[in-house]
Protein backbone atom coordinates (compact mmCIF):
# COMPACT_ATOMS: atom_id res chain seq x y z
CA UNK A 1 0.00 0.00 0.00
CA UNK A 2 1.49 3.36 -1.04
CA UNK A 3 1.95 5.99 1.66
CA UNK A 4 1.74 9.76 1.47
CA UNK A 5 4.77 11.57 2.86
CA UNK A 6 3.69 14.72 4.70
CA UNK A 7 6.37 17.35 5.36
CA UNK A 8 5.57 20.21 7.76
CA UNK A 9 6.17 23.91 7.27
CA UNK A 10 8.60 25.20 9.88
CA UNK A 11 9.19 28.89 10.58
CA UNK A 12 12.82 29.42 9.53
CA UNK A 13 13.39 32.53 11.66
CA UNK A 14 11.97 30.86 14.78
CA UNK A 15 14.26 27.88 14.15
CA UNK A 16 17.30 30.17 13.87
CA UNK A 17 16.37 32.01 17.09
CA UNK A 18 15.84 28.77 19.01
CA UNK A 19 19.05 27.30 17.62
CA UNK A 20 21.03 30.31 18.87
CA UNK A 21 19.22 30.37 22.23
CA UNK A 22 19.94 26.70 22.97
CA UNK A 23 23.25 26.39 21.10
CA UNK A 24 21.97 23.46 19.08
CA UNK A 25 21.87 22.79 15.34
CA UNK A 26 19.08 24.18 13.15
CA UNK A 27 17.76 20.64 12.64
CA UNK A 28 17.45 20.02 16.39
CA UNK A 29 15.73 23.40 16.77
CA UNK A 30 13.25 22.48 14.03
CA UNK A 31 12.45 19.18 15.76
CA UNK A 32 11.80 21.05 19.01
CA UNK A 33 9.49 23.56 17.32
CA UNK A 34 7.46 20.67 15.91
CA UNK A 35 7.00 19.46 19.50
CA UNK A 36 5.76 22.82 20.77
CA UNK A 37 9.09 23.87 22.28
CA UNK A 38 9.79 27.47 21.27
CA UNK A 39 12.01 28.97 23.98
CA UNK A 40 14.67 28.18 26.58
CA UNK A 41 12.22 27.62 29.45
CA UNK A 42 10.09 25.17 27.44
CA UNK A 43 13.23 23.37 26.29
CA UNK A 44 14.40 23.02 29.90
CA UNK A 45 11.05 21.44 30.86
CA UNK A 46 11.21 19.18 27.81
CA UNK A 47 14.74 17.90 28.37
CA UNK A 48 14.59 17.89 32.17
CA UNK A 49 11.15 16.64 33.26
CA UNK A 50 10.61 17.40 36.96
CA UNK A 51 8.25 15.42 39.17
CA UNK A 52 7.61 18.60 41.19
CA UNK A 53 5.91 20.13 38.16
CA UNK A 54 2.88 17.82 38.41
CA UNK A 55 -0.38 19.74 38.63
CA UNK A 56 -2.28 20.11 41.88
CA UNK A 57 -4.68 17.12 42.05
CA UNK A 58 -7.21 19.23 43.96
CA UNK A 59 -7.74 21.28 40.77
CA UNK A 60 -9.70 18.26 39.49
CA UNK A 61 -13.45 18.46 39.96
CA UNK A 62 -14.77 16.38 42.91
CA UNK A 63 -11.31 15.60 44.27
CA UNK A 64 -12.19 16.98 47.72
CA UNK A 65 -15.38 14.88 47.72
CA UNK A 66 -13.40 11.75 46.79
CA UNK A 67 -10.85 12.28 49.58
CA UNK A 68 -13.61 12.98 52.12
CA UNK A 69 -15.37 9.72 51.17
CA UNK A 70 -12.13 7.73 51.42
CA UNK A 71 -11.34 9.22 54.84
CA UNK A 72 -14.85 8.33 56.00
CA UNK A 73 -14.39 4.74 54.80
CA UNK A 74 -11.12 4.48 56.74
CA UNK A 75 -12.74 5.96 59.85
CA UNK A 76 -15.71 3.55 59.67
CA UNK A 77 -13.60 0.47 58.80
CA UNK A 78 -15.73 -0.03 55.68
CA UNK A 79 -15.16 -2.82 53.21
CA UNK A 80 -13.82 -1.23 49.99
CA UNK A 81 -13.70 -2.74 46.51
CA UNK A 82 -11.29 -1.59 43.78
CA UNK A 83 -12.88 -2.09 40.35
CA UNK A 84 -11.29 -1.71 36.92
CA UNK A 85 -11.45 -2.63 33.27
CA UNK A 86 -9.76 -5.83 32.04
CA UNK A 87 -7.27 -4.11 29.69
CA UNK A 88 -3.77 -2.84 30.55
CA UNK A 89 -4.92 0.59 31.70
CA UNK A 90 -7.61 -0.89 33.94
CA UNK A 91 -5.54 -3.69 35.48
CA UNK A 92 -2.51 -1.47 36.16
CA UNK A 93 -4.84 1.10 37.76
CA UNK A 94 -6.44 -1.55 40.01
CA UNK A 95 -3.01 -2.94 40.93
CA UNK A 96 -1.70 0.53 41.77
CA UNK A 97 -4.74 1.46 43.88
CA UNK A 98 -4.82 -1.92 45.65
CA UNK A 99 -1.09 -1.79 46.37
CA UNK A 100 -1.27 1.71 47.87
CA UNK A 101 -4.55 1.64 49.81
CA UNK A 102 -4.05 -1.84 51.29
CA UNK A 103 -2.08 -0.04 54.00
CA UNK A 104 -5.00 2.22 54.91
CA UNK A 105 -8.27 0.30 54.49
CA UNK A 106 -9.07 -2.40 57.05
CA UNK A 107 -10.57 -4.62 54.33
CA UNK A 108 -9.75 -4.12 50.66
CA UNK A 109 -10.34 -6.34 47.64
CA UNK A 110 -10.33 -5.92 43.85
CA UNK A 111 -12.71 -6.93 41.09
CA UNK A 112 -12.05 -7.22 37.34
CA UNK A 113 -15.15 -7.92 35.21
CA UNK A 114 -15.15 -10.92 32.92
CA UNK A 115 -14.73 -9.74 29.32
CA UNK A 116 -17.22 -12.30 28.02
CA UNK A 117 -19.98 -12.58 30.64
CA UNK A 118 -19.91 -8.97 31.92
CA UNK A 119 -18.30 -6.92 29.17
CA UNK A 120 -16.71 -3.48 29.41
CA UNK A 121 -17.51 -1.02 32.19
CA UNK A 122 -19.34 -1.24 35.49
CA UNK A 123 -21.38 -4.47 35.56
CA UNK A 124 -24.55 -5.23 37.49
CA UNK A 125 -22.97 -8.55 38.47
CA UNK A 126 -20.14 -6.73 40.23
CA UNK A 127 -22.60 -4.58 42.18
CA UNK A 128 -24.48 -7.69 43.29
CA UNK A 129 -21.13 -9.19 44.33
CA UNK A 130 -20.37 -6.06 46.36
CA UNK A 131 -23.77 -6.16 48.09
CA UNK A 132 -23.48 -9.86 48.92
CA UNK A 133 -20.01 -9.34 50.40
CA UNK A 134 -20.95 -6.16 52.29
CA UNK A 135 -18.78 -3.68 50.37
CA UNK A 136 -20.05 -0.15 50.88
CA UNK A 137 -17.58 1.78 48.71
CA UNK A 138 -16.35 0.97 45.21
CA UNK A 139 -13.55 2.89 43.51
CA UNK A 140 -13.98 2.39 39.76
CA UNK A 141 -10.96 2.92 37.50
CA UNK A 142 -10.75 3.42 33.72
CA UNK A 143 -14.54 3.13 33.44
CA UNK A 144 -17.80 4.36 34.92
CA UNK A 145 -18.34 7.74 33.30
CA UNK A 146 -21.31 6.36 31.33
CA UNK A 147 -22.58 3.91 33.96
CA UNK A 148 -25.69 5.95 34.78
CA UNK A 149 -28.08 3.05 35.35
CA UNK A 150 -25.51 0.93 37.14
CA UNK A 151 -24.64 3.67 39.63
CA UNK A 152 -28.35 4.30 40.22
CA UNK A 153 -28.74 0.59 40.99
CA UNK A 154 -25.77 0.72 43.38
CA UNK A 155 -27.19 3.77 45.14
CA UNK A 156 -30.43 1.89 45.77
CA UNK A 157 -28.33 -0.78 47.49
CA UNK A 158 -26.47 1.84 49.60
CA UNK A 159 -23.19 1.27 47.79
CA UNK A 160 -21.20 4.44 47.04
CA UNK A 161 -18.97 4.97 44.01
CA UNK A 162 -15.87 7.05 43.35
CA UNK A 163 -15.33 7.05 39.58
CA UNK A 164 -11.83 7.63 38.15
CA UNK A 165 -12.21 7.72 34.37
CA UNK A 166 -10.72 9.44 31.33
CA UNK A 167 -13.22 8.53 28.62
CA UNK A 168 -15.58 11.04 27.03
CA UNK A 169 -18.63 11.72 29.25
CA UNK A 170 -22.16 11.38 27.92
CA UNK A 171 -24.93 13.95 28.28
CA UNK A 172 -25.96 12.47 31.65
CA UNK A 173 -23.36 12.03 34.39
CA UNK A 174 -23.75 9.14 36.89
CA UNK A 175 -24.88 10.07 40.41
CA UNK A 176 -21.67 8.86 42.09
CA UNK A 177 -20.27 10.31 45.32
CA UNK A 178 -17.36 11.71 43.30
CA UNK A 179 -16.37 11.65 39.64
CA UNK A 180 -12.75 12.30 38.73
CA UNK A 181 -12.48 12.85 34.99
CA UNK A 182 -10.64 15.86 33.52
CA UNK A 183 -12.76 15.58 30.36
CA UNK A 184 -15.91 16.67 32.20
CA UNK A 185 -16.98 20.03 30.80
CA UNK A 186 -17.17 21.47 34.32
CA UNK A 187 -13.67 20.26 35.28
CA UNK A 188 -10.95 22.94 35.28
CA UNK A 189 -8.04 20.52 35.57
CA UNK A 190 -5.34 21.79 33.22
CA UNK A 191 -4.28 18.50 31.59
CA UNK A 192 -7.03 16.50 29.90
CA UNK A 193 -5.11 13.51 28.51
CA UNK A 194 -4.33 11.34 31.54
CA UNK A 195 -4.74 7.58 31.27
CA UNK A 196 -7.32 5.89 33.50
CA UNK A 197 -4.47 4.80 35.74
CA UNK A 198 -3.24 8.41 35.65
CA UNK A 199 -6.55 9.66 37.07
CA UNK A 200 -6.26 7.05 39.82
CA UNK A 201 -2.72 8.27 40.51
CA UNK A 202 -4.00 11.82 41.01
CA UNK A 203 -6.40 10.49 43.66
CA UNK A 204 -3.50 8.84 45.49
CA UNK A 205 -1.43 12.01 45.12
CA UNK A 206 -4.26 14.06 46.65
CA UNK A 207 -4.56 11.59 49.53
CA UNK A 208 -0.83 11.95 50.22
CA UNK A 209 -1.07 15.76 50.18
CA UNK A 210 -4.06 15.74 52.53
CA UNK A 211 -2.27 13.45 55.01
CA UNK A 212 1.19 15.04 54.60
CA UNK A 213 2.59 11.73 53.35
CA UNK A 214 6.03 12.08 51.75
CA UNK A 215 5.76 12.17 47.95
CA UNK A 216 8.51 9.52 47.79
CA UNK A 217 5.76 7.02 48.65
CA UNK A 218 4.43 7.60 45.12
CA UNK A 219 7.65 6.56 43.36
CA UNK A 220 7.11 2.75 43.56
CA UNK A 221 3.75 3.20 41.79
CA UNK A 222 5.26 4.82 38.71
CA UNK A 223 6.24 1.54 37.04
CA UNK A 224 2.56 0.60 36.78
CA UNK A 225 1.59 4.10 35.66
CA UNK A 226 4.22 4.14 32.90
CA UNK A 227 2.87 0.87 31.51
CA UNK A 228 -0.67 2.28 31.43
CA UNK A 229 0.44 5.50 29.69
CA UNK A 230 2.31 3.55 27.02
CA UNK A 231 -0.40 0.94 26.44
CA UNK A 232 -3.30 3.42 26.30
CA UNK A 233 -1.51 5.52 23.62
CA UNK A 234 -2.13 8.84 25.39
CA UNK A 235 -0.04 11.90 24.37
CA UNK A 236 3.45 11.92 25.89
CA UNK A 237 3.29 15.60 26.81
CA UNK A 238 2.75 17.64 29.98
CA UNK A 239 2.13 15.36 33.00
CA UNK A 240 2.29 12.18 30.93
CA UNK A 241 5.84 13.02 29.81
CA UNK A 242 6.94 13.62 33.40
CA UNK A 243 5.24 10.47 34.71
CA UNK A 244 6.55 8.34 31.83
CA UNK A 245 10.10 9.68 32.27
CA UNK A 246 10.20 8.73 35.96
CA UNK A 247 8.12 5.60 35.40
CA UNK A 248 10.68 4.22 32.95
CA UNK A 249 13.41 4.96 35.49
CA UNK A 250 11.47 2.95 38.06
CA UNK A 251 10.96 0.05 35.63
CA UNK A 252 14.66 -0.04 34.75
CA UNK A 253 16.06 0.52 38.23
CA UNK A 254 13.65 -1.04 40.72
CA UNK A 255 10.55 -2.65 39.18
CA UNK A 256 8.07 -4.58 41.33
CA UNK A 257 8.47 -8.35 41.24
CA UNK A 258 5.49 -8.87 38.92
CA UNK A 259 6.81 -6.46 36.30
CA UNK A 260 10.28 -7.98 36.61
CA UNK A 261 8.74 -11.40 35.92
CA UNK A 262 6.84 -10.06 32.89
CA UNK A 263 10.03 -8.47 31.53
CA UNK A 264 11.75 -11.85 31.81
CA UNK A 265 8.79 -13.58 30.10
CA UNK A 266 8.92 -11.02 27.28
CA UNK A 267 12.67 -11.74 27.00
CA UNK A 268 13.63 -8.08 27.32
CA UNK A 269 17.23 -8.00 28.55
CA UNK A 270 18.10 -4.38 27.80
CA UNK A 271 16.94 -0.94 28.89
CA UNK A 272 13.13 -0.89 28.73
CA UNK A 273 11.63 1.81 26.51
CA UNK A 274 8.07 2.62 25.51
CA UNK A 275 8.36 0.34 22.47
CA UNK A 276 9.30 -2.57 24.76
CA UNK A 277 6.16 -1.93 26.82
CA UNK A 278 3.97 -1.65 23.72
CA UNK A 279 5.26 -4.78 21.99
CA UNK A 280 6.43 -6.87 24.94
CA UNK A 281 4.96 -6.20 28.37
CA UNK A 282 1.52 -4.75 27.49
CA UNK A 283 0.48 -7.67 25.22
CA UNK A 284 1.27 -10.07 28.07
CA UNK A 285 -0.90 -8.13 30.52
CA UNK A 286 -3.68 -7.84 27.94
CA UNK A 287 -3.53 -11.55 27.17
CA UNK A 288 -4.88 -12.44 30.61
CA UNK A 289 -8.17 -10.63 29.99
CA UNK A 290 -8.36 -11.63 26.33
CA UNK A 291 -7.93 -15.37 26.83
CA UNK A 292 -8.92 -16.21 30.42
CA UNK A 293 -9.59 -13.43 32.95
CA UNK A 294 -8.12 -9.99 33.67
CA UNK A 295 -7.79 -10.76 37.38
CA UNK A 296 -4.72 -12.85 36.52
CA UNK A 297 -2.98 -9.69 35.32
CA UNK A 298 -3.61 -8.04 38.71
CA UNK A 299 -2.39 -11.20 40.47
CA UNK A 300 1.05 -10.92 38.90
CA UNK A 301 1.27 -7.12 39.22
CA UNK A 302 0.57 -7.06 42.98
CA UNK A 303 2.54 -10.22 43.86
CA UNK A 304 5.58 -9.58 46.05
CA UNK A 305 6.90 -13.15 46.17
CA UNK A 306 9.48 -13.71 43.40
CA UNK A 307 8.68 -17.37 42.74
CA UNK A 308 4.91 -16.82 42.67
CA UNK A 309 5.29 -13.82 40.37
CA UNK A 310 7.37 -15.96 38.00
CA UNK A 311 4.71 -18.69 37.91
CA UNK A 312 1.94 -16.13 37.25
CA UNK A 313 3.99 -14.51 34.47
CA UNK A 314 4.65 -17.86 32.80
CA UNK A 315 0.92 -18.64 32.86
CA UNK A 316 0.15 -15.26 31.25
CA UNK A 317 2.84 -15.92 28.64
CA UNK A 318 1.01 -19.13 27.72
CA UNK A 319 -2.20 -17.12 27.28
CA UNK A 320 -0.29 -14.73 25.01
CA UNK A 321 0.86 -17.59 22.79
CA UNK A 322 -2.78 -18.64 22.38
CA UNK A 323 -3.70 -15.01 21.63
CA UNK A 324 -1.08 -14.79 18.88
CA UNK A 325 -2.48 -17.88 17.15
CA UNK A 326 -6.05 -16.55 17.32
CA UNK A 327 -4.93 -13.14 16.12
CA UNK A 328 -3.24 -14.62 13.05
CA UNK A 329 -6.02 -17.01 12.02
CA UNK A 330 -8.90 -14.56 12.54
CA UNK A 331 -7.06 -11.79 10.70
CA UNK A 332 -6.57 -14.09 7.71
CA UNK A 333 -10.30 -14.87 7.68
CA UNK A 334 -11.32 -11.23 8.10
CA UNK A 335 -9.11 -10.02 5.24
CA UNK A 336 -10.95 -12.34 2.84
CA UNK A 337 -14.31 -10.77 3.80
CA UNK A 338 -13.41 -7.11 3.23
CA UNK A 339 -15.41 -5.28 0.54
CA UNK A 340 -12.84 -2.89 -0.89
CA UNK A 341 -15.50 -0.90 -2.76
CA UNK A 342 -16.71 0.54 0.57
CA UNK A 343 -15.13 3.31 2.62
CA UNK A 344 -15.65 1.39 5.88
CA UNK A 345 -15.35 -2.20 7.08
CA UNK A 346 -17.76 -3.90 9.49
CA UNK A 347 -17.29 -7.67 9.86
CA UNK A 348 -18.75 -10.22 12.27
CA UNK A 349 -18.74 -13.95 12.97
CA UNK A 350 -19.92 -16.32 15.67
CA UNK A 351 -16.67 -18.30 15.33
CA UNK A 352 -14.24 -15.53 16.22
CA UNK A 353 -12.75 -14.87 19.68
CA UNK A 354 -13.88 -11.68 21.38
CA UNK A 355 -10.52 -11.22 23.06
CA UNK A 356 -8.64 -10.31 19.88
CA UNK A 357 -11.16 -8.24 17.88
CA UNK A 358 -9.37 -4.97 18.60
CA UNK A 359 -6.07 -6.40 17.41
CA UNK A 360 -7.72 -7.86 14.30
CA UNK A 361 -9.34 -4.50 13.49
CA UNK A 362 -5.90 -2.87 13.59
CA UNK A 363 -4.43 -5.63 11.40
CA UNK A 364 -7.21 -5.21 8.82
CA UNK A 365 -6.47 -1.47 8.66
CA UNK A 366 -2.85 -2.27 7.86
CA UNK A 367 -4.06 -3.88 4.62
CA UNK A 368 -7.28 -1.96 3.88
CA UNK A 369 -6.79 1.53 5.25
CA UNK A 370 -10.28 2.59 6.35
CA UNK A 371 -12.38 2.77 9.55
CA UNK A 372 -12.92 -0.81 10.72
CA UNK A 373 -15.21 -2.59 13.18
CA UNK A 374 -14.78 -6.27 14.07
CA UNK A 375 -17.58 -7.97 16.01
CA UNK A 376 -18.20 -11.37 17.59
CA UNK A 377 -21.72 -12.83 17.75
CA UNK A 378 -23.03 -14.78 20.72
CA UNK A 379 -26.66 -15.48 21.61
CA UNK A 380 -27.94 -12.87 19.19
CA UNK A 381 -25.64 -10.11 20.52
CA UNK A 382 -22.67 -8.71 18.61
CA UNK A 383 -19.81 -7.24 20.63
CA UNK A 384 -16.56 -5.85 19.36
CA UNK A 385 -14.07 -3.11 18.71
CA UNK A 386 -13.64 -0.22 16.29
CA UNK A 387 -10.36 1.25 15.07
CA UNK A 388 -9.83 4.31 12.91
CA UNK A 389 -7.49 5.94 10.42
CA UNK A 390 -5.64 9.22 10.81
CA UNK A 391 -7.73 12.16 11.95
CA UNK A 392 -11.08 10.37 11.51
CA UNK A 393 -13.29 10.40 14.61
CA UNK A 394 -14.75 6.90 14.71
CA UNK A 395 -16.40 7.56 18.08
CA UNK A 396 -18.47 10.38 16.54
CA UNK A 397 -19.32 8.20 13.53
CA UNK A 398 -20.64 5.43 15.81
CA UNK A 399 -22.51 8.04 17.83
CA UNK A 400 -24.54 8.88 14.71
CA UNK A 401 -25.55 5.20 14.63
CA UNK A 402 -26.21 5.11 18.40
CA UNK A 403 -29.91 4.35 17.99
CA UNK A 404 -28.89 0.97 16.55
CA UNK A 405 -26.44 0.16 19.39
CA UNK A 406 -27.16 -1.27 22.81
CA UNK A 407 -23.99 0.28 24.17
CA UNK A 408 -20.83 2.00 22.97
CA UNK A 409 -17.93 4.08 24.28
CA UNK A 410 -14.37 5.06 23.55
CA UNK A 411 -12.15 7.65 21.90
CA UNK A 412 -11.55 9.32 18.54
CA UNK A 413 -9.44 6.43 17.25
CA UNK A 414 -10.77 3.43 19.19
CA UNK A 415 -14.15 2.37 20.52
CA UNK A 416 -16.13 -0.61 21.77
CA UNK A 417 -19.74 -1.36 20.97
CA UNK A 418 -22.59 -3.84 21.40
CA UNK A 419 -25.38 -4.40 18.85
CA UNK A 420 -28.33 -6.78 18.61
CA UNK A 421 -28.00 -9.13 15.64
CA UNK A 422 -31.33 -7.93 14.26
CA UNK A 423 -29.82 -4.42 13.87
CA UNK A 424 -26.45 -5.32 12.39
CA UNK A 425 -27.22 -4.99 8.67
CA UNK A 426 -28.95 -1.62 9.19
CA UNK A 427 -25.95 -0.55 11.28
CA UNK A 428 -23.50 -1.58 8.54
CA UNK A 429 -25.42 0.50 5.97
CA UNK A 430 -25.78 3.50 8.28
CA UNK A 431 -22.13 3.41 9.37
CA UNK A 432 -21.00 3.24 5.74
CA UNK A 433 -23.23 6.21 4.93
CA UNK A 434 -21.81 8.27 7.82
CA UNK A 435 -18.21 7.40 6.97
CA UNK A 436 -18.72 8.10 3.25
CA UNK A 437 -20.17 11.52 4.00
CA UNK A 438 -17.51 12.56 6.48
CA UNK A 439 -14.22 10.96 5.45
CA UNK A 440 -11.83 12.75 3.10
CA UNK A 441 -10.03 10.99 0.29
CA UNK A 442 -6.69 11.87 1.89
CA UNK A 443 -7.75 10.04 5.08
CA UNK A 444 -8.04 6.77 3.16
CA UNK A 445 -4.33 6.70 2.37
CA UNK A 446 -1.83 5.95 5.15
CA UNK A 447 0.53 8.81 5.75
CA UNK A 448 4.01 9.23 7.10
CA UNK A 449 4.45 12.50 8.94
CA UNK A 450 7.99 13.58 8.15
CA UNK A 451 9.86 15.80 10.60
CA UNK A 452 12.80 16.80 8.43
CA UNK A 453 14.52 16.28 5.14
CA UNK A 454 18.13 15.70 6.16
CA UNK A 455 21.48 14.89 4.65
CA UNK A 456 22.49 11.48 5.96
CA UNK A 457 25.96 12.74 6.87
CA UNK A 458 24.37 15.14 9.40
CA UNK A 459 23.07 12.18 11.36
CA UNK A 460 26.29 11.80 13.35
CA UNK A 461 27.08 10.58 16.88
CA UNK A 462 26.35 14.01 18.43
CA UNK A 463 22.97 14.17 16.68
CA UNK A 464 22.12 10.67 17.96
CA UNK A 465 23.14 11.69 21.48
CA UNK A 466 20.91 14.78 21.54
CA UNK A 467 18.01 12.91 19.96
CA UNK A 468 18.11 10.32 22.75
CA UNK A 469 17.21 13.14 25.13
CA UNK A 470 13.94 13.62 23.22
CA UNK A 471 12.77 10.32 24.75
CA UNK A 472 10.39 9.00 25.91
CA UNK A 473 8.73 8.92 22.49
CA UNK A 474 5.01 8.52 21.93
CA UNK A 475 1.96 10.40 20.64
CA UNK A 476 2.64 14.17 20.25
CA UNK A 477 6.34 13.37 20.69
CA UNK A 478 7.04 10.63 18.15
CA UNK A 479 10.47 9.30 17.33
CA UNK A 480 11.37 11.77 14.54
CA UNK A 481 11.07 10.60 10.95
CA UNK A 482 13.62 11.84 8.44
CA UNK A 483 13.85 11.75 4.66
CA UNK A 484 17.14 11.50 2.81
CA UNK A 485 17.44 11.53 -0.98
CA UNK A 486 19.91 10.10 -3.53
CA UNK A 487 20.55 7.02 -1.40
CA UNK A 488 22.12 3.71 -2.41
CA UNK A 489 20.80 0.53 -0.82
CA UNK A 490 23.28 -2.36 -0.71
CA UNK A 491 23.54 -5.90 0.60
CA UNK A 492 19.78 -6.12 0.87
CA UNK A 493 17.95 -9.30 1.72
CA UNK A 494 14.60 -10.51 3.07
CA UNK A 495 14.63 -11.73 6.66
CA UNK A 496 12.19 -13.03 9.28
CA UNK A 497 10.11 -16.21 9.49
CA UNK A 498 7.93 -15.15 6.58
CA UNK A 499 10.72 -13.19 4.82
CA UNK A 500 8.66 -10.00 5.04
CA UNK A 501 11.34 -7.72 6.52
CA UNK A 502 14.19 -5.94 4.74
CA UNK A 503 17.76 -5.92 6.03
CA UNK A 504 20.26 -3.74 4.20
CA UNK A 505 23.10 -1.24 4.18
CA UNK A 506 22.30 2.41 3.40
CA UNK A 507 25.01 4.39 1.57
CA UNK A 508 24.87 8.13 0.85
CA UNK A 509 27.45 7.78 -1.93
CA UNK A 510 29.93 9.91 0.00
CA UNK A 511 31.51 7.25 2.16
CA UNK A 512 28.89 7.13 4.90
CA UNK A 513 27.23 3.74 5.37
CA UNK A 514 24.90 2.55 8.11
CA UNK A 515 22.90 -0.61 8.77
CA UNK A 516 19.14 -0.44 8.34
CA UNK A 517 16.08 -2.62 8.80
CA UNK A 518 12.61 -2.12 7.34
CA UNK A 519 9.85 -4.12 8.98
CA UNK A 520 7.37 -5.32 6.36
CA UNK A 521 9.40 -3.72 3.55
CA UNK A 522 10.78 -6.85 1.85
CA UNK A 523 8.24 -6.17 -0.91
CA UNK A 524 10.46 -3.21 -1.92
CA UNK A 525 13.28 -5.47 -3.09
CA UNK A 526 12.04 -5.69 -6.69
CA UNK A 527 11.75 -1.90 -6.70
CA UNK A 528 15.29 -1.49 -5.30
CA UNK A 529 16.59 -3.76 -8.07
CA UNK A 530 15.31 -1.36 -10.73
CA UNK A 531 16.92 1.91 -9.65
CA UNK A 532 19.58 3.53 -7.51
CA UNK A 533 17.74 6.86 -7.32
CA UNK A 534 16.09 6.26 -3.98
CA UNK A 535 14.65 8.37 -1.18
CA UNK A 536 14.23 6.78 2.22
CA UNK A 537 12.01 7.65 5.17
CA UNK A 538 13.51 6.46 8.44
CA UNK A 539 13.99 7.00 12.16
CA UNK A 540 17.09 6.50 14.23
CA UNK A 541 17.55 3.62 16.59
CA UNK A 542 20.08 1.63 18.56
CA UNK A 543 20.62 -2.06 17.92
CA UNK A 544 21.75 -4.10 20.92
CA UNK A 545 23.35 -7.44 20.12
CA UNK A 546 25.55 -9.45 22.48
CA UNK A 547 25.83 -6.37 24.73
CA UNK A 548 27.22 -4.32 21.81
CA UNK A 549 25.30 -1.15 20.90
CA UNK A 550 25.36 0.15 17.31
CA UNK A 551 23.36 2.86 15.59
CA UNK A 552 20.94 1.82 12.88
CA UNK A 553 18.11 3.18 10.76
CA UNK A 554 14.53 1.93 10.99
CA UNK A 555 13.16 2.27 7.46
CA UNK A 556 9.49 3.23 7.15
CA UNK A 557 9.27 3.58 3.37
CA UNK A 558 11.34 3.73 0.20
CA UNK A 559 10.51 5.70 -2.94
Q: pLDDT of 351-408, one tens digit each?
A: 998 888 888 999 999 999 999 999 999 889 999 999 999 999 999 999 999 999 988 8
DSSP 343: S
The rounded distance, in Å, linking the Cα atoms of 243 and 71 is: 26
In the listed set 209, 228, 247, which residue is the last one of a domain according to the structure? 228
Q: Where on the phi/psi map is residue 520: left (φ > 0), alpha (ψ -120 to 50), or beta?
A: left
Specify whether 422 is located in the same domain as 461: no
The rounded distance, in Å, linking the Cα atoms of 53 and 209 is: 15
Strand partners, 516: 504, 553
Specify whether 369 is located in the same domain as 490: no
The rounded distance, in Å, linking the Cα atoms of 405 and 409 is: 11
Inside any domain, residue 11: yes
Inside any domain, residue 236: no
What Å distances lie between residue 421 and 336, 350, 405, 418, 461, CA to CA? 22, 11, 10, 10, 59
In the listed set 228, 257, 281, which residue is the last one of a domain according to the structure? 228
What Å distances lie between residue 48 and 97, 347, 541, CA to CA? 28, 47, 21
Inside any domain, residue 332: no
Which residue pairs, CB below 8 angstroms and at least 24 apart, start in 49-57?
49/241, 49/242, 49/245, 49/246, 50/242, 51/215, 51/242, 51/246, 53/242, 54/205, 54/239, 54/242, 54/243, 55/189, 55/190, 55/191, 55/239, 57/202, 57/203, 57/205, 57/206, 57/209
Q: Which residues of the chain have pLDDT under 70?
A: 1
pLDDT of res. 8 = 92
Specify whether 463 is located in the same domain as 372: no
Phi, psi values for residue 225, rounded to 5°: -65, -40
Specify whether 72 is located in the same domain as 154: yes
Inside any domain, residue 281: no
Q: Report the chain's C-alpha Rg in angstroms.
A: 24
Specify whether 83 is located in the same domain as 161: yes
Domain hosting 171: range is 57-228
Q: How many domains does the chain have?
A: 3
Specify whether 34 is located in the same domain as 170: no
pLDDT of res. 117 = 81
Specify whether 551 is located in the same domain as 527: yes
The rounded distance, in Å, linking the Cα atoms of 516 and 540 is: 9
Helix (H) or strand (E) holding 257: helix 257-265
Sign of the C-alpha dihedral computed for residues 412, 415, 418 and 424 taken in this order: positive
Count CA atoms within 13 Å of residue 388 on its CB side.
21
Q: What is the CATH number of the domain that holds 526?
A: 2.40.50.460
Q: What is the CATH number of the domain that holds 348?
A: 3.10.310.30
What's the predicted TM-score (pTM) here? 0.88
Sign of the C-alpha dihedral computed for residues 414, 280, 519 and 468 taken in this order: positive
Q: What is the CATH number of the domain that holds 155?
A: 3.90.1640.30
Per-residue pLDDT of 233-272, as tens digits, reads 899 999 999 999 999 999 999 999 999 999 988 877 778 9
Specify whether 364 is located in the same domain as 428: yes
Specify whether 106 is located in the same domain as 223: yes
Q: What is the 3-state secondary structure (H, E, C) of 281-303?
A: HHHHHHHHHHHHCCHHHHHHHHC
Task: Find the angle CA(164)-CA(168)-CA(172) to the nearest 5 degrees.
Answer: 85
103: helix, coil or strand?
A: coil
Inside any domain, residue 69: yes
Inside any domain, residue 530: yes
Specify whether 15 is located in the same domain as 161: no
Q: Where are the beta strands (DSSP E) in 122-170?
A: 137-141, 160-164
Inside any domain, residue 502: yes
What Å distances lie between residue 293 and 161, 166, 259, 289, 316, CA to CA? 23, 23, 18, 4, 10
Specify whether 174 is located in the same domain as 73: yes
In the listed set 228, 260, 294, which residue is the last one of a domain according to the structure? 228
Cβ neighbours of 131 (radius 10 Å): 16
Specify whether 23 is located in the same domain as 62: no
Inside any domain, residue 290: no
Report the C-alpha dihedral over residues 435, 436, 440, 443, rounded to 10 degrees. 50
Amino acid sequence: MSKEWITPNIDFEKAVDLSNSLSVSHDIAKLLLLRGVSNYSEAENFFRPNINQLHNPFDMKDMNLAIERIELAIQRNERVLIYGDYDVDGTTAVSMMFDFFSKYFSFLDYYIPDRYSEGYGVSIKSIDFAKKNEFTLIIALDCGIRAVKQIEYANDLNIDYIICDHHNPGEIIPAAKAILNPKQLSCNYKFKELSGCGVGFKLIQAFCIKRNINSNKLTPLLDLLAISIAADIVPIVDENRILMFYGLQQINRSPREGIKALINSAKKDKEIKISDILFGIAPLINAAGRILHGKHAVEVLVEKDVSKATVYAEKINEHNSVRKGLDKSITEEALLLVDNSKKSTVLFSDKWHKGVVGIVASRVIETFYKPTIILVEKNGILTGSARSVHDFDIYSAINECAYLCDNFGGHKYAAGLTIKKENIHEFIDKFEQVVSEKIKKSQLMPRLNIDLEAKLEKIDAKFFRILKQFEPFGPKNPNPKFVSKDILIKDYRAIGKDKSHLKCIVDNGKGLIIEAIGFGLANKIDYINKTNELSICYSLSENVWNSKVTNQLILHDIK
